[in-house]
Amino acid sequence: MTHPSRETIIDAHLHVWDPSRGVYPWLGPHLAPINRAMALPEVTPALAAHGVSSAVLVQSADDDFDTDLMLQTARSDRRIVGVVGYVPLHRPSVAADRLARLRDDPLFVGVRNLIHEREDPAWILRPDVDHGLSLLEEAGVPFDFVAAGPAALGTAAEAARRHPGLHLVLDHLGAPPLRAGLDHTRTWSHHLEFLAGCPRVYAKLSGLYVGDDPDGEALRRLGAHLRTALRLLGPERLMYGGDWPICLLHESYGRTLDLVRQALSELDATGWREVLAGTATRVYGIDPGRVAATGS
């Protein structure tokens, strides 16, 4: 499904990486189709086909190289309007120095750590990491929270409670279950309802894959989860993300966008402007002029 370019679309969750130059411990042989250099030109045709004029690059490794690679990519292509990079939250003094340097770059818009790859499910609540989150809160830098599953949203809820001034972005809608049992759905919706009460919590409609779904159950669940998110957060706290190239393991680029459009078909034009561009622009402090330039 393609759409005319009359609307501005920012893909708020795109990745690039190069394992020949950097280290990505999670990128193993089981991910063979994407276990190689994934650069922006490869996804450009898909962005154009779906009317996506701009994108935010998001961290893929807990190191400086990954962030520097994204910033270099952004400087060379005006379609990239922001970079969510890495600072070591568990090393607050190092994080403070790195954060000070990154904030000098107008393309730096947020921080993420691969917390879903940590052995400790409550890593984000450790005292040293909590101090790191305080640095982000004080600096007004958004934090992308990537959950390993619905139960992990409990730690996001506690982090939001401790840091009411922190702009916390739930990647992939906090990993709602598409095939797991009812208990997991209840856990996810319970935590999301609490998080919705925190006015600086937002969510990305990204990484939500139906894949092989012969009975349509995953698609039905996805639609229900998206409508729950819309009811709890409203369009002004939701943003679209394509999650390329991770999406290629499951389906083609743009499938998430198509599914979001179908599930939230009742949204009016104002609501769509929020989900497709407005929320990302506000939360990440993206320069509207740069977005306008990419869409012209």
| CB-based contact 223:235 (threshold 8 Å) | no
pLDDT at 4 over 60: no
pLDDT digit string (tens) for 139-195?
Answer: 999 999 999 888 899 999 999 999 999 999 999 999 998 876 667 889 999 999 999
pLDDT at 246 over 60: yes
The domain made up of 10-291 is a member of CATH 3.40.50.300: no
pLDDT digit string (tens) for 99-139?
Answer: 999 999 999 999 999 999 998 999 999 999 999 999 999 99
Q: What is the pTM of this model?
A: 0.95
If DSSP codes are grouped into helix, strand and coil, which group holds residue 84?
strand
pLDDT at 295 over 90: no
What's the mean pLDDT when you consider all of the chain?
Answer: 93
pLDDT of residue 103: 97
Tokens at 180, concatenated: 């797991």
pLDDT of residue 151: 84
Question: From the centroid of its chain, how far is CA 6?
Answer: 24
Rg for the chain, CA atoms, rounded: 18
pLDDT of residue 293: 64
pLDDT digit string (tens) for 42-96?
Answer: 999 999 999 999 999 999 999 999 999 999 999 999 999 999 999 999 999 999 9
| CB-based contact 296:39 (threshold 8 Å) | no
Angle at 146 between CA 121 and CA 178, to 5 degrees: 95
Helical residues (DSSP H) of 197-268, grouped into ranges: 217-233, 255-263
Comparing CA positions, the residue from 223, 221, 218, 149 lying closest to residue 187 is 149
If DSSP codes are grouped into helix, strand and coil, which group holds residue 169?
strand
pLDDT at 256 over 90: no
Q: Taking residues 228-256, report their average pLDDT.
A: 95
Q: Taking residues 226-238, report their average pLDDT.
A: 97
pLDDT of residue 6: 56
> What CA–CA distance (Å, rounded) separates 184 from 177?
6
Q: Taking residues 258-263, report their average pLDDT.
A: 89
pLDDT at 3 over 60: no
Task: Give me the half-sphere count of Cα atoms (radius 13 Å) on the Cβ side of residue 165.
Answer: 9
pLDDT at 2 over 90: no
pLDDT at 8 over 60: yes
Percent share of the chain, pLDDT over 90: 81
